[in-house]
Chains A and B, each alone.
Chain A
Amino acid sequence: MKYFRLIWKNVWRKKIRTSLTILSVFVAFLLFSLLSAFGFAFRGGVDVADAERLIVIHKVSLVNLLPMSYLNRIAATDGIAFVTHATWFGGYYQEPRNQFGQFPVDPDAYFAMYPEFNISTEQFEAFKRNRTGAVVGQELADRFGWDVGDRIPIQATIWSRTDGERTWEFDLEGIFSTDDPRGSTAIMLFHYDFLEEARAFAKGMVGWYILRVESGADPVQVAKSVDLLFANSPAETKTSTEAAFAQSFTKQFGNIALIVMLILGAVFFTLLLVSGNTMSQSVRERINELAVLKTLGFGDRTVLGIVLSESIVIMLIGGLLGLGLGWVLVQGMAKQMAAFLPGIFLSPGAILGAVGLMIGAGVLAGIFPAVKAMRLTIIDALARA
């Protein structure tokens, strides 16, 4: 810390040059924070996936349905603690742009499968009692300003009713939340029994099964056993971990992670060139001063540390400013875009990663000039000056 003033003064030796370098770092980390937040949204449930939850879908695709009769056969498989199911409803509220996930489920089994969802006992019991009842996540309730007791009409895009109607009306009986800040609650759950009774086609079918493996059981082995059960049947299955399921869902949008990596790679490569050049110039301009410091007794490592610290400080100033603005923008965008891309979130992991990246980039940009400064011979440097 006692060298901080010297480091700080050296950083601002050429104010315009340093400001421009900081601006480039700022833009890079602003981009980093936005892309991380969007990448998080695209990854969807991958990060919040439970390793002990497996998803069973139709081998052909998620769109193909599975018979309800599979439930008991899956439940009887070794290594499975319990099973439930869900189905994609695919409706919207009032206008087509107000799309979000609606899932007909078995309330008891579904909430047992997802203990991270919190709902009051009174609301949950009311939901169970009302066949046309529904519960929504806090995120969704906030977005549409819904409250318990509201009647919510959902326009179906897939499921028509036996009377030909496509509007399904639900009584909002409860609002649930999640403790995990990474998890999205922009979904609606209602009774599978209601769907089954009222839908015009595909009766006795569900979208997918969710199963929890027994503690100590090998999820890979369990997945194989389940798929083997239905091999050579008209509806063969594909069982994968929840994370793999979420990933395959995300891949429908293209390899987001790769795109993000490529953009950031290009940005940071340029950033390293810009800041590396700044540090090289800075050291070249004060060879004499560095030699004087060494003459006064500053050791080689101290001089190396001072130059490296200058590079890191530049990265931290620009990076933290970029990250800060990114965080503010992400908060705003998460609300604005919750309709079609829920879960935009700048995770603590991304923030820590960004800070690590700032320090790493600072070291990389500063290492060559710093080593040059460290190896400086006092007599040669003073003679050159």
Chain B
Amino acid sequence: MSETLARLTGVSRTYQKGKEKVEVLHQLNLEIPDGDFVAIMGPSGSGKTTLLNLLGGLDKPTAGTVMVGDAELSSMSNSQLSRWRSNHVGFIFQFYNLLPVLTAHRNVELPLLLTNFSAKERTKRASIALDIVGLADRAKHYPRELSGGQEQRVAIARAIVSDPSLLLCDEPTGDLDRDTADEILGLLQILNREHGKTIVMVTHDAQAAEYAKRMLHCDKGTLEAKEVA
């Protein structure tokens, strides 16, 4: 049995919208073992992205605790969370979110600027990451010179370059055609199986969810397990 990488206990998240309080997550409990690949599905507004934000230390719960590895995220300060994110978690967004002024290589190198690695070491690691996603030959291209699929590969390289244990993907194939989406999902599967990355992926796409080891359905702030077909 794998060790638990992330554990959410009694997590609630309430937002204030005008005078009204909206509870997005309600008393949620979740365990994610190390090496898991879990897909979270559910309708819009069901709390999927909020759950991802809590796991990534981008948001804090109103109640309950979020543990990732040894870190209790709910009690950490903003600066502690920044440091923690740079070392332990990689993010993959629906719209890639690459910096348009930097080449693919420099985009991938960005998280390494927060480390003490030398410029040479940073270059080496960024090259390896680009090689893993199959884009070594596009290192000097700017995002505008890449296709959507290639941009998402660069984003994946950026997410894995600092070797985090956890990858959080928010609709990673939402902006891609079916074939390209399958390529990206295949790549995530490789990262999970061969590189041991724990992946939590939010998606609307049932076909995408099938690449995961397990599927959770999120609705009205609660989670429910579903069988992967």
What residues make up the interface of A, taking CB atoms closer than 8 Å to B? 2-3, 5-6, 9-10, 12-13, 288-289, 292-302, 378-379, 382, 385
Contacts of B158 in A (CB 8 A): 296
Q: Are B99 and A292 in contact (CB under 8 A)?
A: yes
Distance of A300 Cα from B56 Cα, bound (Å): 17
Q: Are A296 and B85 in contact (CB under 8 A)?
A: yes
Contacts of B56 in A (CB 8 A): 295
- Chain B interface mostly: helix
The 8 Å CB contact of B87, one of A295, A297, A379, is: A297
The 8 Å CB contact of B101, one of A13, A292, A295, A378, is: A13
For window 87-103 of B, CB contacts with A under 8 Å fall at 87, 91, 93, 95, 97, 99, 101-102
Contacts of B47 in A (CB 8 A): none
Contacts of A301 in B (CB 8 A): 79
B113, CB-defined interface residue at 8 Å: yes
Contacts of B99 in A (CB 8 A): 6, 9, 289, 292
What residues make up the interface of B, taking CB atoms closer than 8 Å to A? 53, 56, 58-59, 78-79, 82-87, 91, 93, 95, 97, 99, 101-102, 106, 110-111, 113-114, 119, 158
The verdict on A296 contacting B102 (CB below 8 Å), with A3-B113, A378-B58, A379-B59 known, is: no
Distance of A13 Cα from B110 Cα, bound (Å): 17
Give the residue name and chain of the A residue nearest to B118 (CB).
A2
List 9 A–B pairs whose Cβ atoms lie within 8 Å, in order of A's numbering: A6-B102, A6-B106, A13-B101, A292-B97, A295-B58, A295-B85, A297-B85, A297-B111, A297-B114
- Chain A interface mostly: helix
Q: Are B58 and A300 in contact (CB under 8 A)?
A: no
User: Nearest chain A CB to B131's CB is how many angstroms away?
Assistant: 20
User: Nearest chain B CB to A291's CB is how many angstroms away?
Assistant: 8
Distance of A302 Cα from B79 Cα, bound (Å): 10
Distance of A382 Cα from B49 Cα, bound (Å): 11
Q: Besides the contacts A9-B106, A297-B111, A378-B58, what 5 more A-B pairs have beta carbons closer than 8 Å?
A: A12-B101, A294-B82, A296-B158, A299-B82, A300-B82
Distance of A12 Cα from B85 Cα, bound (Å): 29
Count: A-B pairs, CB below 8 Å: 62
Contacts of A385 in B (CB 8 A): 95
User: Nearest chain B CB to A140's CB is how many angstroms away?
Assistant: 56
The verdict on A297 contacting B83 (CB below 8 Å), with A2-B119, A3-B113, A10-B101 known, is: yes
Distance of A109 Cα from B101 Cα, bound (Å): 69
The 8 Å CB contact of A379, one of B53, B84, B97, B106, is: B53
The verdict on A379 contacting B83 (CB below 8 Å), with A6-B113, A10-B101, A13-B101 known, is: no
Give the residue name and chain of the B residue nearest to A299 (CB).
B82
User: Nearest chain A CB to B88's CB is how many angstroms away?
Assistant: 9
Give the residue name and chain of the A residue nearest to B59 (CB).
A379
B53, B59, B82: most-surrounded residue (chain A CB, <10 A): B82
Q: Are A2 and B58 in contact (CB under 8 A)?
A: no
Q: Are A379 and B82 in contact (CB under 8 A)?
A: no
Contacts of B78 in A (CB 8 A): 299-300
The 8 Å CB contact of B83, one of A13, A293, A294, A299, is: A299
Give the residue name and chain of the B residue nearest to A293 (CB).
B110
Distance of A302 Cα from B83 Cα, bound (Å): 12
User: Nearest chain A CB to B163's CB is how many angstroms away?
Assistant: 13
Contacts of A382 in B (CB 8 A): 93
Give the residue name and chain of the B residue nearest to A294 (CB).
B82
Q: Are A295 and B91 in contact (CB under 8 A)?
A: yes
